[in-house]
Amino acid sequence: KAGVTQTPRYLIKTRGQQVTLSCSPISGHRSVSWYQQTPGQGLQFLFEYFSETQRNKGNFPGRFSGRQFSNSRSEMNVSTLELGDSALYLCASSLGGPELETQYFGPGTRLLVL
């Protein structure tokens, strides 16, 4: 079974631009969560999508948004990029049910904002 894939793996943008990152979950997984990883803050939860609906949300500004498609693939968008948005963005997928289960992480997209 293929793992979680994220594209692109690396991105360089300038302040004020916007960016879209993509995540393809493991086949059969309906939940996709997004995390931001930085050296100073560690891994922080952005949001989770399940069946095309945002089900959970972290404490990030509205510049960070996402969506999920009917095939469970998810995209994350960051508008009006700031230098502090430079980070590794990770997505994780799981079945999404109420029972305890493991999340599987992708390799991440490294975003550099200049």
Partner 1 sequence: QQQVKQSPQSLIVQKGGISIINCAYENTAFDYFPWYQQFPGKGPALLIAIRPDVSEKKEGRFTISFNKSAKQFSLHIMDSQPGDSATYFCAATGAGGYQKVTFGIGTKLQVIP
Residues that bind partner 1 (CB under 8 A): 4, 31, 33, 35, 41-45, 48, 50, 55-56, 58, 90, 92, 94, 96, 98-103, 105-108
Q: Are 85 and 41 in contact (CB under 8 A)?
A: no
Q: Which uninterrupted H or E stretch holds 113?
A: strand 109-113
Closer of 92 and 113 to partner 1 (Cβ): 92
Closer of 18 and 101 to partner 1 (Cβ): 101
CB of 81 to partner 1, least distance (A): 22
CB of 26 to partner 1, least distance (A): 12
Rounded to 10 degrees, what is the CA torsion of 57, 4, 14, 66?
A: -30
Distance CA 10, CA 67 (A): 20
Q: Are 46 and 97 in contact (CB under 8 A)?
A: no
CB of 112 to partner 1, least distance (A): 15
